Amino acid sequence: MIIKTNILNPIDITECELRKEIYITIEEGKISSISPTIELSKDFVDYSNLLCLPGMIDSHTHLSQWHIRGKYRNNLLDWLNEIVFPEEKKSFDPLYAEQTATDFFDKLIKSGTTTAGVYVSASQTATDIAFQKGNESGMRLVMGQVMMDMNSPEYLCQKTDDSLREAEELCLKWNKKTELLHYAFTPRFAITCSRDLMSEVGTLAEKNKVRIQTHLSENKAEIEQVLALFPECSSYTDIYNKYKILSPLSIFGHAIHLSDTELGLLRYSGSTIAHCPDSNFFLNSGQFPLGRIKKAGIDIGLASDIAAGTTPDMFYHQRMMLYRQSAGVLKLPELLYTATLGSAKALRLDSETGSIEIGKSADLIFIDSKALDSEDVDSAISELIFLTPIPKIEKVFIAGKQLL
């Protein structure tokens, strides 16, 4: 298939390209050429009235929190206990889990998200259903069952062995079942995960070469509690280091309050960070130290962190990323980069997706926006990011398959 369109595409953290009236050829789900011309005899689909971007990549979000977006508490721990945990309990009802998963993937695709790092819940059945529905949806997913074996409500807390066994079963069943599906071991955070659980996750992840996703240093009260639970460790990151959660396939949500030593541990291990600016506002968690984390050389993806982030719309989250930094710290191309190629790197999927490049999967979104009339990259990005509601996502392709 050949598509005539206009592309807005990240090159690197400082640069995006805007190319008008070009032809993208898609063969077997991959981009095989990007060219200003095609042979006269060839047919093409004409989307020259639309702006084409790489699909948005949400590097950290919670499927089972879909229905509690916007339910406010002014701090993380109260919000988890009073709102999140009772809602995640509902995912143990398979019908509710199925309806939630169906709605969740549908809304992500409609908002232009083609890849996501997803936490489901502590229910193995709900996670299995999420994989079934995710597979049917056609999305590219890094996803796992949330693991909790201490300091949790009894209705979510599992025995260590059960949590590990269930997660490994799901990993064996779903990891790389198709080229779009990746399992991620998902220990919730240090408060709810025992030393044995984390160490065994580290071993299993290494053995199966799969990703690990968890939360790190989001909130001051959380950190205090974590350090009291693990007195043998010198910092929050040191806990994940000692108990084998740091790795080149590990993605840490938030990572706000970190010392230079902790940044060094993350960098040295090859771990990455999912930055959740809307959520960090919503729960008064603090300001993401973007400058220090970039300087440390750690890969950063952008994330909605639904439900502490209120929408799946990754253009809104780019706006929040900008608003949460001091003026002048961020340039516009970096926002688009972080929501696409940056997130792809953070999820270690950048050889497959994240930009419009020959050889990569055709994960493309087409937007009806006056940004198309822009002559320069900055105006095109700013019109996509700052207008509310965001311009309509007209078409979505993942691995060359049209989903919208």
Stretch that binds ligand GUN, among 76-84, 94-102, 131-139, 311-319 (CB under 6 A): 76-84
218 binds Fe ion (CB under 5 A): no
The single residue among 87, 168, 200, 218 that binds ligand GUN, judged by CB under 6 A, is 218
Binding residues among 130-149 for Fe ion as defined by CB under 5 A? none
How many CB atoms sit inside 10 A of residue 350's CB? Answer: 19
* Measured distance CA(200)–CA(6) in Å, rounded: 48
* Binding region for Fe ion (CB under 5 A) out of 109-117, 251-259, 328-336, 351-359: 251-259
Beta strand pairing status for 146-147 and 140-144?
unpaired
Nearest-angstrom CA–CA distance, 136 and 130:
10
Please report, as a single letter, which amino acid is at residue 22: I
Contact of residue 131 among ligand GUN, Fe ion, none (CB under 5-8 Å per partner type):
none
Q: How far is the CB of 65 from Fe ion (least distance, A)?
A: 8
Q: Does 319 bind ligand GUN (CB under 6 A)?
A: no
- Candidate residues 149, 262, 278, 305; the one interacting with Fe ion per rule CB under 5 A: 305
Distance CA(277)–CA(318), nearest Å, equals 8
How many Cα atoms are found within 13 Å in the side-chain-facing hemisphere of 158? 22
Query: Any contact of residue 58 with ligand GUN (CB under 6 A)?
Result: no
Q: What is the DSSP string of 348-368?
A: T-TTTSSS--TTSB--EEEEE
Contacting range for Fe ion; rule: CB under 5 A; set: 181-189, 290-298, 300-308, 320-328: 300-308
Contact between 279 and ligand GUN by CB under 6 A: the answer reads yes
Among positions 18, 52, 84, 170, the unique one binding ligand GUN when judged by CB under 6 A: 84
Distance CA 401, CA 404 (A): 9
Tokens of residue 273, six digits: 């960070």
CA torsion sign for 294, 296, 301, 307 is: negative
Residue 155 or 268: the one with the smaller Cβ distance to ligand GUN is: 155
Name residues contacting Fe ion, limited to 258-277 (CB under 5 A): none
How would you classify the pairing of strands 250-254 and 272-275?
parallel
Residues forming contacts to ligand GUN in the complex (CB under 6 A) are 62, 76, 80, 84, 188-189, 215, 218, 279, 305, 308
Residues forming contacts to Fe ion in the complex (CB under 5 A) are 253, 305
